[in-house]
Amino acid sequence: MSVRVRFAPSPTGYLHVGNVRTALFNWFFVRRNGGSLVLRIEDTDVERSERHYEDQLLEDLRWLGINWDEGVDVGGYVGPYRQTDRFPLYREKVQQLLSNGRAYHCFCSREQLEEDRKKQLAEGRSIRYVGRCRGLDAKESEECLKQGRQATIRLRVRPGTVAFEDLVFGLIEVDTDNVGDFILLRSDGSAQYNLACVVDDSMMGITHVIRGEGHISNTPRQILVYEALGLPVPKFAHLSTILGPDGAKLSKRHGATSLAEIRQLGYLPEAVVNYLALLGWAPPEDGAEILSPEEITSVFDFKSVNVNPATFDLKKFNWVNRSHLKECPLPRLFNLAAPFLERTGLVGTSSSPEIQSWIEELLSVIVSYLDRLEDLGKETEFLWNFDPESDLSDSKALEILGDSAAIGVIRSFCQELEKTGAGAVSYQIYKEAVLGVMKSTGTKGKGLFRPIRLAITGKTFGPELDKIIPIIEKGSQLTLQTEIPGVLDRVRSILGELDLR
Ligand code: GLU
């Protein structure tokens, strides 16, 4: 039998780390085992569901590289794939349950139910429906309906236990005494989640239900609905909760947790796939954690999925992203980086081939410093924001200049460069100038390189100088949106600013 799984998001908000991981684990599983992934939109909460969330959701999944075989946008033979288009199917099934006595009308008012709840709470009992309408016979129900009384429809839950073997959590057993007769259809005729989910999963031929741990308590209820309808029960795999570094359930207050935000910060889709895979799953053989989606898919198995909650670790996520960024071919990296560089004002929206190849050279030097593409702003600041006056007022710059030899080093470096008369500073000229400074000032190590870095970049940190010098020189020859000065001009302006002080 071929595997059929589904990802069933509710379009009530943006995709976040938790449901992206659920989508991914469905995708890994189905691509590993062969079969179909169904994308179903669970929009029964009409108040909170919005079409733009649904559009964004599809767009985000496509960006990640997840592809589905059937669903709202691509269709399929067991549609429709949006729950609000399936209400007649739910009513039909409920009718079947009413006819065979497995469901009944409940006329209890909201106030009555609230009173029951309070009483149960006060007596320390578990909260469940007391079964007041359970005993109504068909005639009595008919009579109430005729009088126009509002009714929900509840499942007549059987006594005993419900047990299932979860692919991650193992055997789970629940006494139905703790479940109580739950609502299938609300009084407005709309389907409750546990009914809609079972009707859809069975009609869509789902073999494995893979979803978040938060749904574990729904599963026994859903199994009871399958039983009442005489339908085969699928297999279940629940994925453990994702926690923030403080041990609380991962949420907005832990930072960027929606895929939309993660994309904006400049994480690569393959890095998101890689990192989220590691939230609860580990490659079967110890070793490499940097994996492509294909590598994960080829070994994915629920045996390697952990029941313990996974902790979202930003440092590790950044490391995974950095590793993938380093592997990224330069032309692709250029396309990905372009919008981030545009934001700095360094380059415009379209670049000439010369500018593109210059940016690629720049990227090849700084890529290993980037956790995410957003860091491009900070890491290229020495190019687009060279401003001696404010650069030298920075507290770290002041610290460097606090060394009595620092200004002498900068002055000597400037003289050495001027001596060559070359104008443009090559790697060779730079090296010789540094040697000259060493000789004439007797400085070395930090005392030598920190002032020189400050003189060239205006900054106190950054990539290796010998790598960025050719980039600065080349960039100064290009017509960039923000013109950048060459090395000698920079050193002179820094010196000029120091002389003014
Ligand atoms: N619509 C549910 C959610 O977004 C998914 C339920 C399920 O996978 O069964 O949490």
**Six-digit token string for 43:** 């929009």
Rg (CA), the chain: 32
Alpha-carbon span 172 to 77, nearest angstrom:
33
Residues 162-175, mean pLDDT to the nearest whole number: 98
Paired strand residues for 155: 103
Residues 326-336, mean pLDDT to the nearest whole number: 97
pLDDT tens sequence across 268-302: 999 999 999 999 999 887 779 999 999 999 999 99
Our CA angle for 89, 95, 99, nearest 5°, is: 150
Residue nearest to atom 6 of ligand 1 (CA): 8
Q: What is the structure's pLDDT at 349?
A: 87
Please enumerate in sequence order all residues whose Cβ is within 8 A of that of 47, keeping only pairs 6 or more positions apart, or say none: none
Alpha helices (H) along 133-192: 138-146
For ligand 1, the distance from its centroid to the CA atom of residue 6, given in whole angstroms, is 10
- Residue 422 — pLDDT band, cuts 50, 70, 90? confident
- Residue 201 near ligand 1, beta carbon < 6 Å: no
Q: What is the structure's pLDDT at 339?
A: 96
- Residue 197 near ligand 1, beta carbon < 6 Å: yes
Ligand 1 atom having least distance to the Cα of 42: 1
Q: What is the structure's pLDDT at 252?
A: 86
Share of the chain above pLDDT 90, in %: 94
CA atoms within 13 A on the CB side of 58: 14
Report residue 68: phi and psi, to 5°.
-120, 160
- Residue pair 409/443 in contact (Cβ under 8 Å)? The answer is yes
Residue nearest to atom 2 of ligand 1 (CA): 9
- Residue 9 near ligand 1, beta carbon < 6 Å: yes
Decide if pLDDT at 46 tops 90.
no
Q: Which DSSP letter does residue 134 get? A: T
pLDDT tens sequence across 78-121: 999 999 999 999 999 999 999 999 999 999 999 999 999 999 99
- Residue 10 near ligand 1, beta carbon < 6 Å: yes
Written as one string, the DSSP assignment of 205-227 is: T-SEEEEEGGGTTHHHHHHHHHH
Q: What is the structure's pLDDT at 350?
A: 84
In what helix (H) or strand (E) does residue 6 lie, and over which residues does it extend?
Answer: strand 3-7
Q: What is the structure's pLDDT at 268?
A: 98
For ligand 1, the distance from its centroid to the CA atom of residue 7, given in whole angstroms, is 8
For ligand 1, the distance from its centroid to the CA atom of residue 25, given in whole angstroms, is 14
- Residue pair 383/484 in contact (Cβ under 8 Å)? The answer is yes
Please enumerate in sequence order all residues whose Cβ is within 8 A of that of 397, keeping only pairs 6 or more positions apart, or say none: 391, 454, 460
Decide if pLDDT at 175 tops 90.
yes
The percent of the chain in helix, strand and coil, each rounded to the nearest 5, is 55, 10, 35
- Residue 215 near ligand 1, beta carbon < 6 Å: yes
Mean pLDDT of the chain: 95
Q: What is the structure's pLDDT at 417?
A: 96
Ligand 1 atom having least distance to the Cα of 22: 8
Q: Which of 26, 54, 82, 193 to mutate to test the pocket of ligand 1 (most atoms within 8 A of CB)?
A: 193
Domains in the chain, start-ordered, CATH in brackets? 376-500 (1.10.10.350)
Ligand 1 atom having least distance to the Cα of 197: 9
Alpha-carbon span 5 to 123, nearest angstrom:
42
Q: What is the structure's pLDDT at 423?
A: 79
Alpha-carbon span 390 to 59, nearest angstrom:
42
For ligand 1, the distance from its centroid to the CA atom of residue 407, given in whole angstroms, is 64
What is the set of active-site residues? Answer: 252
In what helix (H) or strand (E) does residue 39 lie, and over which residues does it extend?
Answer: strand 35-39
Q: Which residue from 151, 190, 217 is spatially nearest to 44, judged by alpha carbons?
A: 190
Q: What is the structure's pLDDT at 174?
A: 97
Residues 401-421, mean pLDDT to the nearest whole number: 94
pLDDT tens sequence across 473-499: 999 999 999 999 999 999 999 999 999
For ligand 1, the distance from its centroid to the CA atom of residue 68, given in whole angstroms, is 17
Q: What is the structure's pLDDT at 97?
A: 97
Question: Which of 40-49, 61-70, 412-421 has maximum average pLDDT?
Answer: 61-70
- Residue 8 near ligand 1, beta carbon < 6 Å: yes
Q: Which residue from 487, 485, 483, 486 is spatially nearest to 355, judged by alpha carbons?
A: 483
Q: Which of 44, 46, 211, 213 to mutate to test the pocket of ligand 1 (most atoms within 8 A of CB)?
A: 211
Alpha-carbon span 380 to 361, nearest angstrom:
13
Exposure class string for 416-433: b at 16+ Cβ within 10 A, else e: bbeebeeebbeeebbeeb
Q: At which residue do the structure tokens 């104008």 appear?
A: 423
For ligand 1, the distance from its centroid to the CA atom of residue 113, given in whole angstroms, is 26
pLDDT tens sequence across 217-271: 999 999 999 999 999 999 999 999 999 999 999 988 888 899 999 999 999 999 9
Q: Which DSSP letter does residue 425 get? A: P
